[in-house]
Amino acid sequence: MQSLNRESLRLLMVGLNHRTAPLHVRETMAFTPDQIREALSRFKTSYPRAESVILSTCNRVEMYIARPLHEEPTPEQLAKFMGEFHALPSEQFQSHLYHHEDRAMIEHLFRVTSSLDSVVVGETQILSQVKQAYQQACDAESVSKIFHTLFQRALAAAKDVHDSTNLSAGRLSVASVAVDLTRSIFDRFDDKTVLCIGAGKMASLMLRHLSGLAPRRLLLANRSLERAEKLAAEFHGEAAGLDVLDQLMIDADIILTSTGSADPIITASRFKAILKPRRYRPVIIVDIAVPRDVESAVGELNNVYLYNVDDLQEVAAGNRQKRDKEISASHDRLAVHVEEFLRWYAARDVGPLVKALYDHCHAVARAELDEYCAHHPELNAAGRQDLERLSHRLISKLLHGPVTQITHNAEVTARPMLASALKRLFSLTSEEPPEGSHQL
């Protein structure tokens, strides 16, 4: 793709997310990986001088672009492009769209990547989704230096925020808390048996998490054998009726209960009777049924660890509170990364101006030197070289301070002013003023 370096750019994004658009709108606007490839290709054909990345997840659809300042597309054209790609009339999605430019766009991307804009703050899936979106854009050759740097820094910033603030610490769902507890008791699972009593939705959800532990056996017991078999087929388990529950509990190391029974199905006396045939092996019982399936006295038995839904929810709520406390610190941390990027971006923007300044000074010096040599024919080649070196040194020393100020030291917001002053003072004629910086 054509290089945009040394040009003032407009950074722009248009999109919708879980807060601005209902699920059916997000579904219609979402891009599959193939569609992303196709869309990036079409976009490049329409706007060859623009960089573009499409981020499409279940909660957001966003298109990020960087294009020369006074060129197209505008946010409206970008929205139109997205609508036309999906063959959707604009009224179906227009009101759900938001757009950000320049600094706001950079901040938004950094927030999104760090999951501060996610449904579940602190989730790490968005990090890999942004990475994937960036990778797809790289494969489609629709990114260049600005977006390479922007997305790489956004990903690095997100990692830093997660590492330094514990934004993603602790589990937030009952199921994942249960899995963590199981890991606190057992060190391996390839020799363990999971027993699930009940075949409802919650049981299915919990099993999805527990099956991630790759246990040796998965047993499903339910009053209706047919439903147990259905669930067993889904998770490659073995189905059984409740009539053999005692035998199943003897075999199990992890027991999950989620039945609709009004009375406890595992009483202390019932479980105590199977402790010996179990050879007193440790067992974790996760009771997510309401009303409870397991008598609380079962938890007092030796080597039995019982948790009900309240226990698990308490942990999840505690973790959620801790994450909330981390949000402010994460924003502060992120702001540092945004400023760093802006400094780089602004320095890159004043680059042509600095080059023009040096060129101008060297041109003046060369002209003066030529005139001096014309008036002093006795000056030999060695003498001219000495004078050239002297002028170079003088220019370098004189310009070093102001150039360092404008590229490194000055506040990002002060740079455009300094750049403008420099241009006026030295009558510099770089092809474009660094107006893009004003937007930042």
Applying CB under 8 A, which of residues 85, 98, 235, 305 lies at the interface with another protein? 305
Query: Which range in 98-106, 135-143, 260-268, 295-303 contacts another protein by CB under 8 A?
Result: 295-303
Query: Which range in 58-66, 226-234, 277-285, 339-347 contacts another protein by CB under 8 A?
Result: 277-285
CA angle 339, 345, 346 (to 5 degrees): 90
Q: Measured from the CB atom, is 224 or 321 closer to another protein? A: 321
Q: What beta strand segments (E) does 269-367 contain?
A: 283-287, 304-308
By CB under 8 A, is residue 319 in contact with another protein?
yes
CA angle 414, 417, 428 (to 5 degrees): 135
By CB under 8 A, is residue 173 in contact with another protein?
no
Least gap, CB of 284 to another protein (angstroms): 9
Q: Measured from the CB atom, is 101 or 180 closer to another protein? A: 180
In this structure, are residues 394 and 325 in contact, taking their beta carbons and an 8 Å threshold? no
By CB under 8 A, is residue 172 in contact with another protein?
no
By CB under 8 A, is residue 393 in contact with another protein?
no
Least gap, CB of 170 to another protein (angstroms): 6
Applying CB under 8 A, which of residues 299, 351, 402, 433 lies at the interface with another protein? 299
Greatest CA span in the chain, whole angstroms?
Answer: 116
By CB under 8 A, is residue 280 in contact with another protein?
yes
Task: List C-alpha distances in Å: 340 to 160, 174, 257, 406.
Answer: 14, 39, 52, 15
Q: Measured from the CB atom, is 107 or 326 closer to another protein? A: 326
Q: Measured from the CB atom, is 45 or 184 closer to another protein? A: 184
For 426, residues 6+ apart whose C-beta sits below 8 A from its C-beta are: 357, 360, 361
Residue 73 phi/psi, 5-degree rounding, is -90, 155
Task: List C-alpha distances in Å: 289 to 90, 129, 202, 237.
Answer: 47, 35, 9, 21
By CB under 8 A, is residue 336 in contact with another protein?
no
Applying CB under 8 A, which of residues 166, 173, 204, 247 lies at the interface with another protein? 166
Query: Half-sphere exposure of 191 toward its Cβ, with a 13 Å CA cutoff?
Result: 4
In this structure, are residues 150 and 138 in contact, taking their beta carbons and an 8 Å threshold? no
By CB under 8 A, is residue 322 in contact with another protein?
yes
Strand, coil or helix: 55: strand
What's the DSSP call for residue 405? Answer: I
Applying CB under 8 A, which of residues 145, 188, 366, 393 lies at the interface with another protein? 188
What's the token pair of residue 11? 């950074």
Least gap, CB of 333 to another protein (angstroms): 11
Applying CB under 8 A, which of residues 241, 260, 291, 318 lies at the interface with another protein? 318
Concerning whether 196 is annotated as a catalytic residue, the answer is no
Q: Measured from the CB atom, is 4 or 283 closer to another protein? A: 283
In this structure, are residues 129 and 62 in contact, taking their beta carbons and an 8 Å threshold? no
In this structure, are residues 412 and 343 in contact, taking their beta carbons and an 8 Å threshold? yes
Query: Which range in 182-190, 204-212, 382-390, 426-434 contacts another protein by CB under 8 A?
Result: 182-190
Q: Measured from the CB atom, is 134 or 307 closer to another protein? A: 307
Query: Which range in 119-127, 314-322, 346-354, 377-385 contacts another protein by CB under 8 A?
Result: 314-322
By CB under 8 A, is residue 34 in contact with another protein?
no
User: Can you tell me the distance from the alpha carbon of 253 to that of 22, in angstroms, rounded to the nearest whole number?
Assistant: 42
By CB under 8 A, is residue 53 in contact with another protein?
no
Catalytic residue among 58, 196, 361, 373: 58
Strand, coil or helix: 312: helix
What's the token pair of residue 5? 């370096």
User: Can you tell me the distance from the alpha carbon of 205 to that of 56, in angstroms, rounded to the nearest whole number?
Assistant: 25
Query: Which range in 14-22, 60-68, 118-126, 301-309 contacts another protein by CB under 8 A?
Result: 301-309
Sheet holding 60-68, edge to edge: 51-56, 60-68, 9-17, 98-101
**Cβ atoms within 10 Å, residue 334:** 22
By CB under 8 A, is residue 325 in contact with another protein?
yes
Q: Measured from the CB atom, is 23 or 273 closer to another protein? A: 273
By CB under 8 A, is residue 4 in contact with another protein?
no
What's the DSSP call for residue 409? Answer: I
Q: Measured from the CB atom, is 74 or 166 closer to another protein? A: 166
What's the DSSP call for residue 73? Answer: P
Residues binding another protein (CB under 8 A): 165-166, 169-170, 177, 181, 183-188, 276, 279-282, 299, 302-303, 305, 307, 311, 314-315, 318-319, 321-322, 325-326, 329
- Residues carrying an active site annotation: 58
